[in-house]
Structure 1
């Protein structure tokens, strides 16, 4: 059950705040208990204002797309945050793609392919979101996120924004040096011009 006073502690938001949400709906394994409160921020500013105004004693958990997540039957106390459409934007410019952290790795790889951009094919074989992939320096087929990351934009626990280059992330095997309280918002990724047919062939070999 929701603590009667917890919702009263929530800052005003433009996104959605929902009580007693069964998280099995949002995990690939379709198991898990209830989130005391589930927050879907509308955009970066909404999330920033939420972090700046929520009481420090309220537990916060970040839930990605739930691809590698097992939620205990007892649920998650406090606020669980899930990044939605406001964090799935894609911008393409010369030599790079700027993508929201809530975007799935497969979707990102497909968009790159459709635009004749290579370098992200390996992401099609990694379940989950871009934010989660950055957090764990996800990799497959001799490539990993640190190979293609130019920079990332994060939100700190106090609600402030920071831009960090790949060098400042101190990546190692399946990890980086970022605090668990920081949230990845977006990233600039290095890409190269390629042929759609060749990119498609590589992705098929990875996925099948």
Structure 2
């Protein structure tokens, strides 16, 4: 059986790579291996040669991820410069590499009069946005998704349509180990200046309502109602995660260096020196308290990966 470090690559393969500095929350143990492919062909060849018993975890910019303190077994695949291109297509369509930041895609689309403004305030990259069906203010990635290109665990390149993604609230069902390499989106036509103003308004609202200057991964839990805030005046808050967290008295709750934000109680932040265990255990405390108070079982929106520290 071939060894991982014997596989011919053009990218970079790093053993025992610390992950905390790649995480927005600045926590997490090392990856057994971190592979940064040069391009899609390099990725496909690597996956084809990689023994099937070795787990693979694709990551983006870790904006929706808690990496546990014991690290990650197998190979973590991080898509970098070879996967961040943005191409404008006919018919109000945009093809973006999986590593392209959501905000950059929204801004590039706006210059061409393509409205993908909802992406402007979503942290992270397009590959992760597609996999998690990211959204805000009532619009989801699924609403503008046309297709995606991906590499399967055994190294084959495939095209994914809407039905292949199985979009649900904050989730999809693509096979484990499959790596999305680019996504094609179809927005609506609009005036570039109007789209820019729309994005500016969204950013202003975000600054006023979310702890954007703190280390967080955005919403910690899915809304129990199964949809995100619409931003409308008649939006009902009864089954919003922040509301049930507030009702349970957990706004501002702390554990070690982890805290549920005082500004937005569904945002968990690293207030300083938090471990991954602090963050995850605080989340479980919140879930327990909400269940005891409201009979509602909150579902994590942040993904947790890796092993706890032994």
Is the 8 Å Cα contact of residues 64 and 128 (structure 1) preserved in structure 2?
yes
- 1:59 CA displacement: 2.1
**CA shift in 2, pair 1:8/1:144, >3 Å:** closer
Structure 1 counterpart SS, 2:64: coil
Q: 2:144 aligns with which of 133, 148, 152?
A: 148
Pair 1:109-2:109 in alignment: no
Q: How does 1:6-155 map to 2 (within 5 A)?
A: 9-95=5-91, 96-118=93-115, 120-155=116-151
TM-score normalised by length of structure 2: 0.62
1:112-157 residue CA offsets vs partner (Å, 9 max, x unmatched): 1223221x10011211111111111111111101110111111111
Q: Which runs of 4+ in 1 moved over 3 A?
A: 5-10
CA distance in 2, matches of 1:50, 1:81: 10
Is the 8 Å Cα contact of residues 2 and 51 (structure 2) preserved in structure 1?
no
CA distance in 1, matches of 2:5, 2:36: 16
CA distance in 2, matches of 1:129, 1:103: 5
Q: How does 1:170-189 map to 2 (within 5 A)?
A: 170-189=166-185
- 1:193 CA displacement: 3.0
Q: 2:189 aligns with which of 174, 180, 193?
A: 193
Please list every run of 5 or more consecutive structure 1 residues that lacks an aligned counterpart in the other structure.
none
Is the 8 Å Cα contact of residues 59 and 128 (structure 2) preserved in structure 1?
no
1:155-176 residue CA offsets vs partner (Å, 9 max, x unmatched): 1111001112223322121122
CA distance in 2, matches of 1:8, 1:159: 15
Q: Report which stretch shifted further, 168-177 or 69-78.
A: 168-177
1:63-118 residue CA offsets vs partner (Å, 9 max, x unmatched): 21011111112111221110001111111111211111111111111111223221
Please list every run of 5 or more consecutive structure 2 residues that lacks an aligned counterpart in the other structure.
205-310
**CA shift in 2, pair 1:114/1:39, >3 Å:** same
- Cα RMSD (Å) of the superposition? 1.7
**CA shift in 2, pair 1:139/1:206, >3 Å:** same
Is the 8 Å Cα contact of residues 19 and 31 (structure 2) preserved in structure 1?
yes
Report the number of matched residues.
203
Greater gyration radius:
2
CA distance in 1, matches of 2:57, 2:143: 28
Is the 8 Å Cα contact of residues 10 and 54 (structure 1) preserved in structure 2?
no
CA distance in 2, matches of 1:125, 1:103: 14
Is the 8 Å Cα contact of residues 131 and 184 (structure 1) preserved in structure 2?
yes
CA distance in 1, matches of 2:31, 2:191: 45
**CA shift in 2, pair 1:26/1:7, >3 Å:** farther
